[in-house]
Amino acid sequence: MAFAPPRLLPLPAPAPARCAVSARHHGGRTAPELSGPTPRVVVVTSGKGGVGKTTTTANLAASLARLSLPAVAVDADAGLRNLDLLLGLENRVHLTAADVLAGDCRLDQALVRHRALQDLHLLCLSKPRSKLPLAFGSKTLTWVADALRRAPNPPAFILIDCPAGVDAGFVTAIAPAEEAVLVTTPDITALRDADRVAGLLECDGIKDIKIIVNRVRPDLVKGEDMMSALDVQEMLGLPLLGVVPEDTEVIRSTNRGVPLVLNDPPTPAGLALEQATWRLVERDAMTAVMVEEQERPKKKGGFFSFFK
Amino acid sequence: MAPASIAISLPFRLLLPPRPFRGRATWPRAIRATASGDTSGVAGGERKVALERRVGDLKALVASVPPAVASIQRNIGPNFVAGFCLGIAVLAAVARQVIIRSRERDNRGSVADLVRRGQLKSGQRGTAKLRTYDDPFNNPLVKIDEDASTAQMFGKEYRLAPVRLTKEQQELHQKRRSRAYQWKRPTVFLREGDSLPPHVDPDTVRWIPANHPFAAASSEVDEETAKQNVYQKDGVPSRVKAEHEALQARLEASNDVTKLPSNSSMQHNERPLRLSGKPFGNLQSSEFGSELENQDIEPGKHSCDESLQSNRLEGQ
Ligand SMILES: Nc1ncnc2c1ncn2[C@@H]1O[C@H](COP(=O)(O)OP(=O)(O)O)[C@@H](O)[C@H]1O
Ligand SMILES: [Mg+2]
């Protein structure tokens, strides 16, 4: 187990974080400050399926790329590949890591570049019906991450979309990772799986784990029908990277093949994911969580509905 | 002809009845009304006349029905044509439905299918109009004011609750988990049912069911080659190169026009006979591209090259 300092300290030096906060008040920062050596290899995982790993990966990657931080999004979900769809790249994935292993193409040829975001690349582990060579399953992504690190222009981030469960796909996906983003929904089944996954990650030496609580419905939280993000945090004991509300725009953005963070005008979930990206880049965590609407007479839909 | 006419008269029976039926539906009510009038025995004369007239009408109607049927049978010629056309139309509709159903079953839910059905717009997919960047913590729509513990988002104001998790609590949770989940990441994957190789520690093995996406039959490349393939920065990918070289070697070796080499190491290259007779100097010369392109000598490789190119265009 590598007890590297950055892994031990998920909340590094609080002082710079404070500075960042105060800087925010004076408005108009244009980019977060990149913390730590690159490329940073981050696995997005959850244990339970369908909680939003792929959505999170696509949005973090797109957001990073827009901040001119080159990102490679790796779809390690060999069985249920989806990341290509969310990025709108499904027609362009011809070569995968399996082809690279077999010597049919080079790694740089298997990276699919996004049309609009020059700094965003997608790498798929294998084609849905083809099978990955068994023997180096667990080593494939370690090699890939290492090769990307040694490339002439290495990416700043390698984001790995982990498959559900804790079987061979999970083992493969976490193998090269140094940090983890643990996605969970505020319900007890997802939480139990998240706790287990956090335990396995820690056993593997990945100590820098942050949670994204996805699909939160403030109205239900207020009526105490749903756990709040703070309840979730209390149960897992991990720093919060973001709290993403339930948002119908998520499905629309999936259908359009454009990550939510690129939506104009911004949407609540897209904005939350964008904030999460900034925190990820700065190795920051949330210091406060939005809980409820302040009692203040307001127009019902607010600005957002006006823009829609 | 007889069975056909029976079959065709069916739609006509279905089509014709409405008129007589409508008539019959109104008649009985009139008859019953007059019948009740009869029993009361009031103003019988007028009603009797009316009744008789109506019964006569009814008889005439009944009498007229057989000729109608006869006239249908007489006019069977043009009707048959019409019926035939109708039958064809029905068949065509059914066939079309069947075809559509089966096609849907083939690629239902695929992106292409959704685009075809208009549920997705193909033009829009993946093309993003980039928004100019705003600080997500401080912009006209969002202001997170952590000191005052409020946040304004999309015109609403929210109360912020501070995160209470301390370092100590974090460490307690870590300790709890490390007790609860003791795990060592497996480093070797083996297919269920395979035997354990001698040098492998059973604790590091992950057994994989045969239907798992990783459970490829057996890999053609050994670990060292696979690793080299991943690390290769430039030049021709190793297998593509190896195939070219093997093909070249075979071409040089086979001077005999009629002999088809059946080398098992080249599964892809089921070469047409006549090609081996042609004078080939270098496979990688332009001759290779121009003359063999359409011969489909390496189907797998050609498709690969195409996709290489499409990826490379983007990858520059
Ligand atoms: N914040 C959200 N609001 C609404 N729907 C969401 C949200 N996050 C995810 N979803 C939906 O949940 C489903 C599963 O998401 P996905 O990212 O594919 O999960 P996973 O990769 O963990 O299996 C998708 O249909 C997605 O649209
Ligand atoms: Mg997924």
Q: What DSSP assignment string belongs to chain A?
A: ----HHHH-SS--HHHHHHHHHHHHT----SPPP-SSSSEEEEEE-SSSSSSHHHHHHHHHHHHHHTT--EEEEE--SSS--HHHHTT-TTT----HHHHHHTSS-HHHHPEEPSS-TTEEEEESS-SSS---STTHHHHHHHHHHHHHTSSS--SEEEEEPPSSSSHHHHHHHTT-SEEEEEE-SSHHHHHHHHHHHHHHHHTT--EEEEEEEEE-HHHHHTTSS--HHHHHHHHT--EEEEEE--THHHHHHHHT--GGG-SS--HHHHHHHHHHHHHHHT---SEEEEEE-S----SSHHHHHH-
pLDDT of the residue at B142: 80
pLDDT of amino acid B125: 59
What value does the mean pLDDT take over residues B173-181? 91
Residues of A in contact with B206 (CB under 8 A): 138, 167-168, 171
Domain assignment present for B139? no
pLDDT digits (tens, 9 = 90+) for A119-155: 999 999 888 766 677 667 678 899 999 999 999 999 9
The token pair at B38 is 């009869």
B176/B78 Cα distance (integer angstroms): 89
| A271 interface with B at CB cutoff 8 Å | yes
Nearest CA in chain B to A196: B181
Cross-strand bridge partners of residue A212 = A183, A242
Contact A134 B215 (CB under 8 A): yes
Which range of B61-65, B73-77, B158-162 scores highest in mean pLDDT? It is: B158-162
Q: Which of B76 and B4 is assigned the larger pLDDT?
A: B76
Question: Residue B173 pLDDT > 70, yes or no?
Answer: yes
Residue B209 lies in a domain: yes
The nearest CA of chain B is from the CA of A250 a distance in Å of 14
Question: Distance from B202 to chain A by nearest Cα, in Å?
Answer: 15
Residues 34-63, chain A: which have Cβ within 8 Å of B?
none
Q: For chain A, how big is the Rg over CA atoms in Å? A: 19
pLDDT at A242: 94
A237 part of contact set with chain B, CB < 8 Å: yes
CATH architecture of A40-282: 3-Layer(aba) Sandwich (3.40)
Domain that holds residue B204: 184-240
Residue B287 lies in a domain: no
Residue B214 lies in a domain: yes
B30 or A188, greater pLDDT = A188
Q: Is B146 on the interface with A (CB under 8 A)?
A: yes
The beta-carbon neighbor of B219 closest among A135, A174, A263 is A135
The domain spans of chain A are 40-282
Average pLDDT over residues B166-187: 89
Q: Which atom of ligand 1 is nearest to the CA of A247?
A: 3
Between CA A208 and CA A222 the distance in angstroms is 31
Instruction: Name the stretches of chain A with pLDDT < 70.
Output: 1-28, 129-131, 134-135, 137, 294-308
Whether chain B has a CB inside 8 Å of the CB on A266: the answer is yes
Side chain identity at residue B46, one-letter code: E
Band (B294; pLDDT cuts 50, 70, 90):
very low
**Protein residue whose Cα sits closest to atom 6 of ligand 1:** A250
Chain A segment 153-182 residues within 8 A of B by beta carbon are: 167-169, 171-172, 174-175
Task: Tell me, yes or no, whether B208 lies in a domain.
Answer: yes
CA angle (A231, A237, A238) in 5-degree steps: 105
According to DSSP, the residues that pair with B188 across neighbouring strands are B205
To the nearest 10 degrees (0 to 180), the angle between helices B2-15 and B44-74 is 140
Number of domains in chain B: 1
pLDDT at position B150 is 79
- Residue B231, pLDDT score: 92
Domain presence at residue B158:
no
Task: Measure A209 CA to ligand 2 centroid, in angstroms.
Answer: 19
Q: What is the pTM of this model?
A: 0.67
Instruction: Say which residue, B76 or A247, is predicted with more confidence.
Output: A247
Query: What is the Å distance from ligand 2's center to A181 Cα?
Result: 14
* Statement: residue B127 has pLDDT above 70: no
Chain B residues within 8 A of A100 when measuring between CB atoms: 229-230
A193 phi, psi to nearest 5 deg: -65, -40
Lowest model confidence (mean pLDDT) among A71-80, A162-171, B103-112, B144-153: B103-112
Q: How far is B210 from chain A (nearest CA, A)?
A: 10
Task: Write down the residue that tokens 């925010």 correspond to.
Answer: A24
> In chain B, pLDDT over 70 holds for what percent of residues?
48
Write out residues with Cβ below 6 Å of ligand 1. A 46, 49-55, 82, 164, 214-215, 244, 246-247, 250-251, 254, 269
**pLDDT given for residue B297 in this prediction:** 36
Q: Is B133 on the interface with A (CB under 8 A)?
A: yes
Q: What is the pLDDT of residues B251-274, one digit of tens each?
A: 888 865 555 555 444 444 443 333
Q: Which residues contact B113 (CB under 8 A, 6 or more apart)?
A: B104, B107
